[in-house]
Amino acid sequence: MDIVLMGVPGAGKGTQAAKLENTLHCKHISTGDVLRAEIASGSPLGKQIAGIIDGGDLIPDEMMVSILKNAATGTDKGIIFDGFPRTVAQAEMLNNMLGQLGRKLVKAVMIDLSEEAAVKRLCARRQCHLPDGSVHQIGPDFSPEDCRAQGGSLFTRPDDTPEHIRHRLSVYHQQTQPVADFYKTQGIYAQVDGDKDPQQVFAELLAVLQA
Ligand code: AP5
Ligand code: MG
């Protein structure tokens, strides 16, 4: 079962995708995480894209699709795409790519959240970077104390400043919102209310996916 999770920055795509990955035994691909790992590796590509991501702009479509193809090839599990596609061109490329791999999207789910709530969440977001390279969201399941106890350090994403958050939201409205209409036309669009407790959002998501 291949699924796209959509939503404004901070809607909870990463939070819900991690839960779905555990429950449905799917592979979670967050393009943001893939890009941040590339930057952390210090590769030439990472150096090329760091400024774009930290500033909240989008990586060019062709580059993004080739990075994604590497991440999506070679698994027979269902894939949860988190943060991809972000433009209608990427949505078309994803359909082509999945077709070539003999796969197909079954649902594109929008996690609906107001801008105001998203800004509040992103300004408060903290992450923990552990020595093994894994990144954990600080929240009910992982506290700052857990982070310190495991030798990790607390971290704020460079694109989580108020100025960058505003820019990311404007990029979202201009370039990513039209992707929802693309999936409506394809008949696979669904929506859940993201402004609830994470467990309630998850229950709604499962209901939509199992409908
Ligand atoms: P990406 O990493 O995808 O960032 P984003 O879309 O801005 O989304 P976030 O990761 O900030 O939010 P989220 O929806 O995952 O929410 P989360 O679960 O963390 O992309 C980053 C950048 O990479 C882009 O700006 C672009 O430059 C580049 N990029 C990525 N994909 C690309 C593409 N396809 N093409 C081109 N460029 C691309 O939750 C947020 C916070 O809220 C957390 O603190 C969490 O604990 C909390 N929270 C979650 N759910 C709830 C809830 N229900 N109630 C209360 N709090 C909650
Ligand atoms: Mg995310």
Pocket test for ligand 1, best of 58, 172, 205 (most atoms within 8 A of CB): 58
Number of domains composing the chain: 1
- In-domain check, residue 168: no
* Ligand 1 atom index nearest CA of 124: 44
Asked if 12 and 116 count as a contact pair (C-beta separation under 8 A), the reply is no
Beta-bridge partner residues of 80: 3, 28
Q: Is 157 a catalytic residue?
A: yes
Tell me, in angstroms, the distance from the centre of ligand 1 to residue 82's CA: 8
**Nearest alpha carbon, ligand 1 atom 43:** 125
**92 in any annotated domain:** yes
- Residue 164 belongs to some domain of the structure: no
Let me know the angle formed at the C-alpha of 129 by 51 and 158, rounded to the nearest 5 degrees. 25
Instruction: Give residue 125's region: left, alpha or beta (phi > 0; psi -120 to 50).
Output: beta
**Looking at the domain assignment, is residue 161 inside a domain?**
no
Q: From first to last of its 211 residues, what are the pLDDT tens digits of the chain?
A: 899 999 999 999 999 999 999 999 999 999 999 999 999 899 999 999 999 999 999 999 999 988 888 888 889 899 999 999 999 999 999 999 999 989 999 999 999 999 999 999 999 999 999 999 889 989 888 999 999 999 999 999 999 999 999 999 999 999 999 999 999 999 999 999 999 999 999 999 999 999 8
Q: Does 166 participate in catalysis according to the annotation?
A: no
d(CA 204, CA 211): 11
What are 9's two structure tokens? 């920055």
In a domain, 169, yes or no: no
Pocket flag, ligand 1, residue 84 (CB < 6 Å)? yes
> What CATH number does the domain containing 28 carry?
3.40.50.300
Q: Which of 27, 69, 107, 157 is catalytic?
A: 157
Peptide linkage before 144 cis (omega within 30 of 0): no
pTM, rounded to two decimals: 0.95
Residue 113 CA: which ligand is closest? 1
152 touches ligand 1 (CB under 6 Å): no
Residue 204 structural domain: 2-113+174-209
Helix, strand or coil for residue 30? strand
**Which residues, other chains included, contact 60 with Cβ-Cβ below 8 Å and sequence gap of 6+?**
none
Six token digits for residue 167: 């820019």
